[in-house]
Amino acid sequence: MSVSRIAIVGVLGIGACAGAPKPKIFGPAANLAPTVEIVGTTPLPLHLRIEPRQAGYVSAFYVIPGQRTQMLFPVDSSGSKMMPAGAQEVATSFATRPVLDTSRLLRRPTRAQPPPDASGIPQGGSSGGNNPRTSALQETGFVLVYVSTDSLSFKTLNDRVIGVSLPGYADEAFNAVMKLIRAASTGGGQWSAVAVPFRP
């Protein structure tokens, strides 16, 4: 089993190299930013190795600009999990669901979409005759790992974050999803998040 390792050290430099997307760091508490590894080379992120710098509540999401947000971890309805410092490997929701359910999760939402000129989605990013499943697998996604000193309410995540369609541009998608996740926080504690690019 191969491991794609992405080390997060300090503040992410901007414009280091052109080409592949780089990890993105969010939040005011750099001391909470975890190291995240996507384990394996499967078409979907099945296992993650997460290493918080200190104990905190951890949750993970799968974010593809222009598509709906999916919960990767935890895989039950208990909300974000307290995780001690140190590397730990976790199975994502893709690893614990049947293949047919994974296919269902990759489909675009059936709710009404804004007109293409107002959606902010790049040409060919959301509509037309493209196969949604094929499009989802071809687009660059991100594993977003959120760590906080406060837990997240699963009910709020389920109502306001999971399944919500995001804008088609990465910066706008991250702004939207971070606001939604922050709204699910049970307090005003410190937090940080790391978005690791994932493209099969």
Give 71-127 pLDDT, tens digit per residue.
Answer: 999 988 777 889 999 999 999 999 987 644 444 444 444 444 444 444 344 433 433
Q: What is the average per-residue pLDDT within 25-35?
A: 91
Phi, psi for residue 139 in degrees, rounded to 5: -80, 150
C-alpha distance across the termini of the chain, in Å: 15
Query: Would the pTM of this model clear 0.75, i.e. be above it?
Result: no
Listed in sequence order, the residues at least 6 apart from 33 whose beta carbon sits closer than 8 Å to its beta carbon are: 8, 25, 27, 53, 147, 192, 193, 194
> How do residues 134-153 score in pLDDT, each as one tens digit?
344 446 899 999 999 999 99
Q: Which domains does the chain have, with CATH numbers?
A: 3-9+25-107+132-198 (2.60.40)
Query: Of all helices (H) and strands (E), which one includes residue 137?
Result: helix 132-138
Tokens linked to 75: 């895989």
